[in-house]
């Protein structure tokens, strides 16, 4: 039998609580356009990993003004962030694979505070740009030749566990060496300036300089758990992304947008808009984001609604209000774990208990059909079962 809570000193109580180490430098990768970077150094797990922090820092010198800047530039300069590894019981997994734009936006969709973007132009003003909202983006002709160059810093914070839960819940989803060994790898894919729209031309260089290359810094943030360090068997949060296009290019009612995985599901995010034309081969970014392509988004199992939501705008307003945030334009949230002041991962939909033949679907009415429509579905899932064994 453990020590009664009333007998614990404040220092002993604190030793059971999660504290982070703060972001620590792990690797710096020189940026180049249209590159695929497999970071050659696996993430060390000498302590449980709580967050991964990625920072782009560089200069953009504009020669022709980007007059039609898409809504998720410049954070779309990173095309993909992928984390993969081999789990001791779950096998090979890719728990995180998102575009830089999605990674940047999810923090605002699911948290009170989003990620940060800083831009300094030739006037020398170091400016924190407004967080993503509705409408998103910096506005047309933000990157102009007249006020070039621009020093840019973009921060992407990636939680290993669920978004917006209490620390007492979050510790159940950390990445530890017992589960992952030293197998965790990071891959980054980059775009070029065509991700910022056409017309518009420019070149990248080192931050504060007209020469050299921008840097991508990868930082790790560990959890210090004290006596709980070896007492928790963590589950794994897996964020799956599914591109959709043809299903939202023709109007229709109760259209299946995506067949989801029969896994424990915390939430589903639908992102809709149109693709940007004229990008380089391999570069795929949203040219516009829209809340008027779909309506009446619902989650169903074998055609029976388990979230019977009727109005896109009302659903969006409710989950924004519930999470004390503002969902960016083009992003729709359906959550099983919403809570105030923090979400409740334990209330996730137990999709892993569905029969193998059951169909877990996201459906919607398509009301704004166009041949250029494009979308993404993100399913936030839990693999495995967290177990707190007791004091180690």
Top-level class of domain 7-388: mainly beta
Among residues of the chain, what percentage have pLDDT more than 70? 94
Q: 136-161 pLDDT, tens per residue?
A: 788 889 999 999 999 999 999 999 99
Cβ-based neighbours of 53, under 8 Å, separated by 6 or more: 23, 155, 156, 157, 158, 218, 219, 220, 221
Res 200 pLDDT > 50:
yes
**Would you place residue 15 in the very low, low, confident or very high pLDDT band (cuts 50, 70, 90)?**
low
C-alpha dihedral (3, 9, 10, 12), degrees to nearest 10: -50
pLDDT confidence bin for 3, thresholds 50/70/90: low
pLDDT tens digits, 284-311: 999 999 999 999 999 999 999 998 899 9
Q: Which structure tokens are listed for 98? A: 């998102």
User: Which of 18-32, 116-130, 195-209 shows the lowest per-residue confidence on average (mean pLDDT)?
Assistant: 116-130
**HEC readout, the chain:** CCCCHHHCCHHHHHHCCCEECCCEEEEEEECCCCCEEECCCCCCCCCCEEEEEEEEEEEEEEEECCCCCCCCCCHHHEEEEEEEEEECCCEEEEEEEECHHHHHHHHHHHCCCCCCEEEECCCCCEEECCCCCCCCCCCCCCCCCCCCCEEEEEEEEEECCCCCECHHHHHHHCECHHHHCCCCEEEEEECCHHHHCCCCEEEEECCCCCCCCCEEEEEEEEEECHHHCCCEECCEEEEEEEEECHHHCCCEEEEEEEEECCCEEEEEEEEEEEECCCCCCCCCCEEEECCCCEEEEEEEECCEEEECCCCHHHHHHHHHHHCCCCCCCCEEEEECCCCCCCECHHHCEEHHHCCCCCCEEEEEEECCCCCCEEEEEEEEEEECCCEECCCC
Q: pTM to 2 decimals?
A: 0.93
Question: What was the pLDDT predicted at 123?
Answer: 86
Instruction: Give CA 30 to chain center in angstroms.
Output: 23
Query: Taking the chain, what is the end-to-end CA distance rounded to the nearest angstrom?
Result: 13
Residue 360 has pLDDT above 70, yes or no: yes
In degrees and rounded to multiples of 5, residue 215 shows phi and psi of -120, 140
Delimit the domains of the chain by residue range: 7-388
pLDDT digits (tens, 9 = 90+) for 77-91: 999 999 999 999 999
Q: Give the model's pLDDT for residue 124.
A: 87
Q: According to the model, what pLDDT value does residue 31 have?
A: 98
Q: Quote the mean pLDDT of the chain.
A: 92
Rounded to whole angstroms, how far apart are CA atoms 356 and 262?
Answer: 8
Give the mean model confidence (pLDDT) for residues 176-201: 95
Mean pLDDT computed over 38-65 = 96
Separation CA 112–CA 164 (nearest Å): 8
Q: What is the pLDDT of residues 94-138, one digit of tens each?
A: 999 999 999 999 999 998 888 999 999 998 888 888 777 666 788
So what's the pLDDT on residue 333?
97
């Amino acid at each position: 039998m453990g020590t009664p809570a009333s007998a614990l000193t404040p220092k002993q109580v604190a030793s059971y609580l999660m504290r982070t180490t703060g972001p620590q430098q792990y690797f710096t990768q020189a940026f180049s356009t249209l590159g695929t970077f497999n970071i050659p150094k696996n993430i060390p797990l000498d302590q449980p990993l709580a967050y991964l922090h990625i920072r782009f820092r560089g200069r953009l010198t504009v020669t022709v003004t980007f007059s039609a800047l898409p809504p998720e530039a410049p954070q779309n300069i990173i095309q993909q962030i992928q984390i993969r590894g081999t789990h001791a019981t779950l096998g090979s997994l890719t728990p995180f694979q998102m575009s830089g734009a999605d990674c940047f936006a999810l923090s605002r969709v699911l948290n009170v505070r989003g990620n940060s973007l800083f831009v300094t132009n030739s006037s020398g003003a170091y400016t924190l740009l407004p967080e993503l909202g509705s409408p998103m983006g910096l506005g047309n002709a933000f990157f102009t030749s007249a006020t070039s160059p621009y020093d840019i810093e973009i921060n992407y914070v990636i939680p290993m566990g669920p978004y917006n839960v209490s620390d007492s819940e979050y510790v159940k989803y950390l990445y530890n060496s017992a589960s992952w060994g030293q197998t965790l790898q990071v891959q980054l894919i980059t775009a070029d300036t065509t991700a910022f729209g056409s017309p518009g031309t420019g070149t990248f260089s080192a931050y504060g300089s007209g020469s050299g290359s921008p840097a991508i810094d990868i930082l790790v943030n560990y959890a210090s758990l004290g006596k709980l360090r070896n007492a928790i068997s963590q589950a794994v949060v897996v964020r799956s992304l599914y591109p959709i296009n043809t299903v939202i290019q023709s109007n229709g009612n109760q259209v299946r947008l995506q067949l989801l995985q029969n896994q424990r599901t915390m939430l589903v995010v639908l992102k809709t808009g149109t693709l940007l034309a004229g990008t380089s081969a391999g570069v795929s970014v949203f040219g516009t984001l829209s809340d008027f392509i779909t309506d009446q988004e619902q989650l169903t199992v074998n055609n029976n609604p388990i979230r019977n939501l009727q109005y896109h705008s009302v659903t969006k307003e409710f989950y924004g209000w519930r999470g004390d945030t503002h969902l960016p334009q083009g992003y729709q949230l359906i959550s099983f774990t919403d809570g105030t002041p923090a979400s409740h991962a334990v209330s996730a939909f137990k999709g892993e208990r569905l029969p193998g033949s059951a169909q877990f679907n996201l459906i919607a009415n398509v009301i704004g059909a166009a041949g250029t429509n494009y979308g993404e579905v993100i399913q936030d899932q839990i693999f495995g079962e967290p177990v707190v064994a007791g004091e180690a």
